[in-house]
Structure 1
Amino acid sequence: MEGSGDGAPAPDTTSQAWHGEGWPEYRASPPWVMAEMVASQPVLVAPILGLPAAREIARLVEDALAAGDPIVVVGCGTSEHGAQAVAELMDAGLRLGGRRPGLVEARQALEAALDPRPGGVCLAVSHDGGTRATLLAAEAARAAGARVALVTARSEGPIAAIADALLVTPAVDRSWCHTVAYASAILAGAAIGSALASLPLDPTPVAAYLQAALAGRAEMHPFAERLAAARPIIACGSGSDRVTAREFSLKIEEGPRIPAVARDLETLLHGHLVACDGRTGLVLLAIDDRGGERRDLRLRTAAEASSAVGMAPVALLSPASAGVIPSDAMPGGRFVLPPPPASPLPPLVPLLGGMAALQLLTLALVDVVGVNPDLIRREEAPWRTAAAIAEDAGDW
């Protein structure tokens, strides 16, 4: 039987009168729908990387860049982190195509709605296709002269209705602790980035790597046992690992219901340790190997400094980083991902590897804490009410 995860009594789920139409399936015990969604992700690689709509979006981007106009990627929640990943992958594709870096901007959807960039392309990432802030961002961008594109799992909806280009991914997340939504956005970004670089991506080694990365769930349980009592958990990374850290912090707040925050690696070392002690959890990410030795040395410094104030950092590492960051540098332990395949689009493999690691650790924390992640606490009245207040307000 599930509990609330914070010492409160378990919700009364006997009648399930609160369960709404279109909600995830309610289960009183594992296996959770989230776990099934996580396991299903490798089969998405080939279909999404092969979507012809990626080339259509790439053409919109190339036209905008030729005119000197901005490229903006927007989203909310998991799709905000998906948008950040898409921007990383599009930027990589443009670099490979001979463009200068930094031409693609990721923005939170509400901020983009309040202050749209003039002209160019606004690429909205919205798994359900109807998130209000993302719709407002798309509408504001169009009013400012932009072409609008959409990455979504639903081809019908208010954002699709105003989009000039539509990339529809094949699977809808059946858990509200979204995982497939994030994987789909990463793969869509890779397809667009590949089109911008005019470089084909072979899906077979990518899918095999993701399958291997997702095989390590049992290895995560010792880390989860150490982190479950931490308040908060801080996730830190550099390069594309910053996107992973942000998504990880959201997942462990939604799933096991543990307060969490993401920090850039260097940011942690500039004042934030003052508020930390032995009660604070720390997960350090070194999966994107583009940072090289300097990044790894700084990560070791972060581990040493945090250990001095009583923290026991856990590291999620690529094999290359594991070779220079020894076990004794990480009091909380190390999780090492499998060897990555070669990829012409550099951020793709570390984004997928980091995604796999964060999802496995989230599921392990869910197991330890003993909660159902699928409804993100809407089986309990206060959180159901809070969600209704946030989502049903139509006056903004």
Structure 2
Amino acid sequence: MNLPVIDSNASAKPVAAQPADPRRHLLDVSLDELKDWLVSNGQPGFRAKQIVHWVFQRRVSNFSQMSDLPKALREKLDEAFRIWVTGEAALVTSSDGTDKLLVRLPDGGEVECVLLRDGVRRSICVSSQVGCAMGCVFCASGLDGVDRNLTMGEILEQMLRLQARLDEGERLSHIVMMGMGEPLANLNNVLGALDVARSKDGLAISPRRITISTVGLPPAIDRLARAEVPYNLAVSLHAPNDELRDQLVPVNRKIGVQAVLDAADRYFESCGRRLTFEYVLLGGLNDSDDEARQLASLLRKRTAMLNVIPYNPVEGLPYKTPTKRAIDNFRSILENGGVNVQFRQRKGGEIDAACGQLRRNRDSIKTQNIGTQHGS
């Protein structure tokens, strides 16, 4: 066994590991659970909504700021719960106003979330897992696989941290579950977090302004349909046939393009919300005229929007942004083929805005390090 070398002249004593904070994460506690806790501590249950209002509407991160609660209750709450359990590891801001935040979790894992400013819209993109198991070959999020699912509270805390970056008078308008991870592989916690986000006691965001992105997991899409909440569904297609999609999205080998499209159709039938299909355009790989024609054949009869996203290069990966000519040809074929298509403007390009890039590259880019800031 190799023992560590100890400097005999050093006077500092070893620092003992800090025990884990035993307090519960308030954002993992349902409203009913909070009411039960209050009643068991001799408080009226209605105070639960007051507490939730302070956190989501008044944007506080400390129980001591909840001025309409009795001081003794605030102290008890602080003994039992923490509002925020994560830290902010890094922040980068683009010239177009996009903020990207790297959030450090209690166990040391890190996830990314993004605030996008576009006119009066204030949209956020939130992660659902630490890493990703779907294996999309061009995506930085899944290069190291998946570590774990995020809890409901960890998903909500990303939303609150991004909300805290808004100026007074601004409010979040849209949520996109399109950060790190596959949301439908963590559906229980994603739906729990979105239930709070759409609640009038939470962020009060209409489900019609909430989008859940997926590579296409048919059983989970069907389960989402059974939830009967009209969220927008965005399916990351990336290829018009199984041969190419198997290469780009390895999980497709167990599913198939047609099964994904059939599940998306069932979701549309259940809620009537127009489908969105995402297609990352990779130079020289899935951007040919033939692939555009195949894609048009798949989508022309569907009530759907196709978002085409020219690839955002990731350091260490061989994929490249398509040429302007390839982009123009692809667009023309789709439009002439009767597809409702838009080419998404790349926002935050200079800050590694594609999910997973900041986590991988933060040591090699200039970031504004804002330390570890824990709430109570």
The structure having more radius of gyration, on CA atoms, is: 2
Instruction: Specify which structure has the higher proportion of helix.
Output: 1
Structure number having the greater strand percentage: 2
TM-score normalised by length of structure 2 = 0.31
Q: Which of 1 and 2 has higher RCO (CA within 8 Å, sep 6+)?
A: 1
TM-score (norm 1): 0.30
